[in-house]
């Protein structure tokens, strides 16, 4: 099952497709027809036509899924951690602040809270970068987080291109009480 989300801005739309695993294949091509035979003359049998070629098989489907990165302690996320992954807090027992890498082309990841714990879970921008929460720019260096990690909370991060070679992290709440540092 997939779910398309379109985020609209004044000058462009961004389409995000959330996929909960996929499995599909391409159909094969059909075979070609054979040629017809010739008619017989004066009661003689005609020649038979040629057989058609068989179709090609379809390609096999790909198995869907995401790489899950477990983060249960304070640390720094790498670009690889933020490239089409799911960040999980499974097993978190203390307060966690994850520092994001500088936003980069095609950066995209989802944070999924799998463990409920009365501790905060925060995503802090790199240095004084400005991240966005649900369409609103936050101040320089302001984090996004949960005051208490609650199982089931989800937030999606996408790197928005802001100039020829500059990007900004934009976070969109999927589920949960994600808030910005005041």
Contact 85, 68 (CB under 8 A): yes
Distances from the Cα of 6 to the Cα of 9, 12, 16, 54, 89, angstroms: 10, 10, 6, 43, 27
Digit-coded pLDDT (tens) for 49-69: 555 554 433 333 222 477 999
Q: How many CB atoms lie within 10 A of CB 45?
A: 10
Cβ-proximal residues to 24 (8 Å cutoff; 6+ apart), any chain? 61, 62
Name the CATH topology of 67-180: Jelly Rolls (2.60.120)
pTM: 0.65
Instruction: Inform me whether the pLDDT recorded for 14 exceeds 60.
Output: no
State pLDDT tens for residues 141-175. Answer: 999 999 999 999 999 999 999 999 999 999 999 99
**What are the structural domain ranges in the chain?**
67-180
Assess contact for 179 and 141: CB atoms under 8 A.
no
* CA atoms of 160 and 46, how far apart (whole Å): 70
- List, for residues 69-125, the tens digit of each pLDDT value: 999 999 999 999 999 999 999 999 999 999 999 999 999 999 999 999 999 999 999
């Amino acid at each position: 099952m997939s779910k398309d989300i379109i985020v609209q801005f004044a000058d462009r739309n961004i389409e995000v497709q959330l996929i909960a695993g996929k499995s599909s294949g391409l159909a094969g091509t059909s075979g070609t027809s054979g040629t017809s035979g010739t008619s017989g003359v004066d009661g003689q049998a005609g020649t038979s036509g040629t057989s058609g070629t068989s179709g090609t098989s379809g390609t096999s489907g790909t198995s869907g899924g995401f790489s899950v990165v477990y983060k249960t302690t304070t640390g720094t996320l790498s670009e690889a951690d933020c490239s089409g992954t799911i960040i999980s807090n499974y097993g978190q027992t203390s307060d966690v602040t994850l520092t994001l890498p500088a936003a980069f082309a095609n950066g995209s990841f989802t944070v999924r809270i799998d463990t409920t714990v009365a501790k905060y879970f925060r995503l802090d921008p790199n240095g004084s970068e400005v991240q966005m929460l649900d369409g609103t720019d936050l101040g320089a260096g302001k984090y996004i987080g949960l005051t208490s990690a609650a199982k089931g909370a989800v937030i999606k991060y996408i790197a928005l291109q802001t100039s020829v070679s500059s990007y900004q992290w934009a976070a969109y709440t999927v589920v949960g009480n994600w808030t910005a540092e005041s």
